[in-house]
Chain A
Amino acid sequence: MSMLEVKDIHKTYCNVEVLKGVSFTMEKEQTKVIIGPSGTGKSTLLRCINQLSPPDKGEVWLDGEEITSPKADINRIREKIGFVFQEFNLFTHLTALRNISIGLEKVKKIDKETAQKRALEELRRVGLEKQASQYPAQLSGGQKQRVGIARALAMDPDIILFDEPTSALDPELIGDVLDVMKSLAGKVAMLVVTHEMGFARNVADEIIFMEGGYIVEQGPPKEMFTNAKTQRAREFLGRIGALYGGD
């Protein structure tokens, strides 16, 4: 049994069916990248997985537990699913350190001192220990996103979902965030929605190409970039590859 199993997810927003039956699985410590045109339900899919917007139909299983079940304790399960947002969503009133330690203190019930020590370790891991006492407004976009990643990491999740983590960043700040993400590959499972083709090609174990609410094709990056089976995937990768490059 896979660590994460997504089975036939359907989701409708304002009478538009955004997801029309999406299924895939993920193994422990695997990295998968979801690509595809805007408005094809990539972000919605991530939100369906951690139940920020529960799917209308279909099931999500994590570690053999059905988290879409009404009986599931979603708060406990969300501890195991990190989420990194495009818009960072750091807590405005808390320092970088407290942004990370608050979950440990209030959710995991770790005492304040231990939690802050742990938070500082996570900040060090993303190269921001010097910024520990700064507030989100005093950080650059790239730094905010690295705090966002550290915040997710601190909860020691099984998987982290990344929703276009670099789309709101200046090009020169993207590198630092991608470096942090690369350093996590193979240590924690990552499901990443992104347009960063370089990252997809070099870090992903598998690429999922979505369009129109379906998974059109999935496979290892090498195959997808050089030898995609479907016409649509070839077109998309060709176009976006020219735009965003990739090394």
Chain B
Amino acid sequence: MALETLIDSLPQLLNGLGVTLGLTAFGILLGTSAGILLAIGRSYGPRPLAYPILIFEKVFRGIPLLVLFFLIYFGLTQLGISFDAFTSAVIGLGLRSAAYQAQIYRGSINSIPVGQINAAYSLGMSKLKAIRYVILPQMLRISIPGWSNEFTILLKDTSLAFGIGVIELMRQGRYIQVRDPSLVLPVFLLIAAIYFVLVFTANKTLRVVEKKYQMAGFQAEAHR
């Protein structure tokens, strides 16, 4: 009997999965674009820009995600700013991820020999061109392993949006559990499996991308 009810609730879980994927996609998009800008701004921007970026990174790496969600979704309404739950979750996920990703990119930037930007300048490239054509392509390649981590963490942390009422995978599971408490173990096992498969697939795919774009001279595997 339990199996039938579980199968009946599959469409509901798929709905939730769609929302989870939406949160992940928008969250990582915001996190990645903001993270790149923060890292470039901190490394190459004018000095006064480095401090606000540093503060941003410290703040958003220092607050638990659920607290961040509550601040954005409930807290900001007191200031007359209100977002729906989904948007609040995307902003929270995105800003926190940006703070972490900025660190990943900064590490990558620091591993590019400074002489290369001098070489770019010597060809007559502006700072912007040097960043665009010399720094950015190398920074992104070196960042793939770190970014893969960040991506899977963000994917799993979308489940915290449960806390502000986003009807994602986790909340759909909770609805099913409330309707039929006997399903609690199978439903959450199923949800766990779904997250696991998503993360596993993402990691596998990103590993292929990493290998495809690996730069000559960076293959540590050669020394295994």
* Interface size in chain A (residues, C-beta < 8 A): 29
**CB pair B124 A103 closer than 8 Å:** yes
Residue B217 is within 8 A (CB to CB) of chain A in the complex: yes
Q: How far is A50 from B138 in the complex, measured between Cα atoms in Å?
A: 25
| CA of A136 to CA of B112, assembled, Å | 14
Contacting residue for B215 out of A76, A134, A135, CB 8 A: A135
Our pick among A76, A81, A87, A136 for the contact of B216 (Cβ within 8 Å) is: A136
Q: For window 207-224 of chain B, which residues contact chain A by CB distance below 8 Å? A: 215-218
* Min distance, Cβ B115 to any Cβ of chain A, angstroms: 4
Across chains A and B, the number of contacting residue pairs, with CB separation under 8 Å, is 78
Interface size on B, residues (CB 8 A): 23
Taking CB atoms, residues of chain A closer than 8 Å to B124 are 75-79, 103, 107, 155
Shortest C-beta distance, B123 to chain A (Å), equals: 4
Contact residues in A for B118 (Cβ distance below 8 Å): 52, 83, 85, 89
Tell yes or no: B204 within 8 A of A by CB: no
- Known contacts: A93-B138, A137-B217. The answer to whether A103 contacts B123 by CB under 8 A is yes
| A203 contacts the other chain (CB 8 A) | no
Q: Which residues from 92 to 119 on chain B have a C-beta closer than 8 Å to any C-beta of chain A?
A: 112-113, 115-116, 118-119
What residues of chain A have their CB less than 8 Å away from a CB belonging to chain B? 50, 52, 75-79, 81-83, 85, 87, 89-93, 102-103, 106-107, 134-138, 151-152, 155
- Which chain B residues have a beta carbon within 8 Å of chain A's beta carbons? 112-113, 115-116, 118-126, 129, 133-134, 137-138, 141, 215-218
A-B contact pairs, 8 of them (CB 8 A): A78-B121, A78-B124, A82-B122, A83-B118, A87-B113, A89-B116, A91-B134, A92-B215
